[in-house]
Structures are given as structure tokens and as C-alpha cells.
Amino acid sequence: MLKFQPKAGSVVYCNYSGFIKPEMVKERPVIIIAKHKHNSKLVFIVPLSTTAPDPSYEYHLQLEEEFCSLYFNGVRSWVKCDMVNIVSLARLNLLKRKGYIPNIGECFLNKIKQGVKSCLNII
């Protein structure tokens, strides 16, 4: 369990247990897209998946190959911007093989935020 809100763009694991299918229901890597403004124990996240979206839409983004090589043993992963959630820090943990929190960078984070806006039809 994390005791602080990671900064936007951070990649951590989220335990989705207690959710109901077709929601995410298992532990998986996620990207923090924003801290909650008024509650320091909540963050906005989007999940990563190794399953290619079918069909694929503009709000499904393939994670950069270099990032996958560094942190996911080269396994191709997609950001599912249509599965945005607000979760408690109690659901979050560091990536198992790393002792620090990787960050996807501002440029790709902006693409994710655009994907979320597109999915929610607010652009």
C-alpha cells in the first residue's frame, strides 16, 4: 500500500479486487493521471493491459516500446483510457521488480489525458 499520492505519469500496480466484471478485477499496472484535489488518499488512474483492444479506438494507446522493454520484459501493453477510475492509495503498490516508481513522461501523459477526454466525449 502506498502512503502518498504518486505524481501524474507514475506507473504502479493496482489491486482491483472487489470490482465486478466487466470492470477490471485483478491486479495490474496502472498509470496515475492525476491526484485528487481534495482527498490525499485518492488518485485518478488508467489501467494497462497486454491484451490488444478489439476493436481499437483512438482512446486505446499502445505504450511506447522502449518503456515496455525497460519495465515489462518487452511485453507489448496498451493504455485503456476508457477504463479510468478514482481509487484509494490502499489499492496501490510499487511495481514488483523495481524499488522506485517509473514515470511515462509528460508527452505521453498528455496523450493519455486526450484519450480520456475523447472517451468521455468532453473534447
DSSP three-state, residue 19? coil
Other Cβ atoms less than 10 A from the Cβ of 89: the count is 19
How far does Cα 31 stand from its chain's mean position? 3
pLDDT at 123 over 90: no
Phi–psi pair at 105, nearest 5 degrees? 95, 155
Q: What's the pLDDT at 100?
A: 77
pLDDT at 1 over 90: no
Domain limits, the chain: 11-119
* pLDDT, average across residues 18-47: 95
Q: Is the Cα dihedral 101, 29, 116, 42 positive or negative?
A: negative
Q: Do 2 and 35 touch, CB atoms closer than 8 A?
A: no
> pTM above the 0.85 mark?
yes
Q: Do 50 and 79 touch, CB atoms closer than 8 A?
A: no
Q: What's the pLDDT at 28?
A: 94
Q: What's the pLDDT at 97?
A: 65
Distance CA 83, CA 25 (A): 12
Q: Does domain 11-119 have CATH number 2.30.30.110?
A: yes
Q: What's the pLDDT at 63?
A: 94
pLDDT grade for 80, boundaries at 50, 70 and 90: very high
pLDDT grade for 70, boundaries at 50, 70 and 90: confident
**How confident is the prediction for the chain on average, in pLDDT?**
93
Q: What's the pLDDT at 98?
A: 62
